[in-house]
Amino acid sequence: VALVPPARPEQLAATVTDLLSRPHELERLAAGARRAARFVSWPRIAAAALGLYREALADR
């Protein structure tokens, strides 16, 4: 995975071009992103926040 510094559009373009030339790597990264997205979905975030609020209120 390549991290591109902010305000470096030429480096971003080079990184994207490189990735597009390697479809297997692109698919591997995409699959990882899909797996990660399941853990950071809004319903999960909301449920976690609600759980924390309930826990905090129970401690009062």
Q: What is the pLDDT of residues 27-53, one digit of tens each?
A: 999 999 999 888 888 888 999 999 999
Name the band, by pLDDT with cuts 50, 70 and 90, for residue 17.
very high
pLDDT of residue 2: 80
Using the predicted structure, report yes or no on whether residue 18 has a pLDDT greater than 80: yes
Residue at 4 is within a domain: no
Residue 30 lies in a domain: yes
Average pLDDT, the chain: 93
Domain assignment of residue 38, yes or no: yes
pTM: 0.58
What's CA 55's distance to the chain center, in Å? 27
Q: How far is CA 7 from the centre of its chain?
A: 20
Question: Which structural domain range is residue 15 located in?
Answer: 9-58
Q: Is the pLDDT of residue 1 over 90?
A: no
Domain count across the chain: 1
